[in-house]
Amino acid sequence: MSDQLALFPETVALTRVRPERDESRFYRLEIWPDLFGRTMLVQRWGRIGTVGRQRLDPHPDAGSALNALAELARAKRRRGYCDA
């Protein structure tokens, strides 16, 4: 069985480490279905090694959640985050 990259990934893990600023941060985005037929975009962020914070954003369907995930990931990469 071969592993294949998803065209639209449902999980993105990013990190930003800058020792000169004593900064080591993570940002994780995931898409989860909920029990009511909607799709949740889960955002987790914080300092590496901690639990961090979490935010759940409901979306009416998976397509809109994927669009929001892609836009947030693009914005974080512009701010210096790299794929983990």
Phi–psi pair at 22, nearest 5 degrees: 55, 45
Q: What is the pTM of this model?
A: 0.84
Q: What is the pLDDT of residues 48-68, one digit of tens each?
A: 999 999 999 999 999 999 999
Is the pLDDT at 29 greater than 90? The verdict is: yes
What per-residue confidence (pLDDT) applies to 37?
Answer: 85
Can you read off the two tokens belonging to residue 71? 């836009």
22 secondary structure, DSSP code: T
3-class state of residue 64 by DSSP: helix
Can you read off the two tokens belonging to residue 75? 């914005």
Count the alpha carbons within 13 Å of 19 in the hemisphere toward its beta carbon: 0
User: How many C-beta atoms surround the C-beta of residue 8 within 10 A?
Assistant: 11
**Mean of per-residue pLDDT scores for the chain:** 90
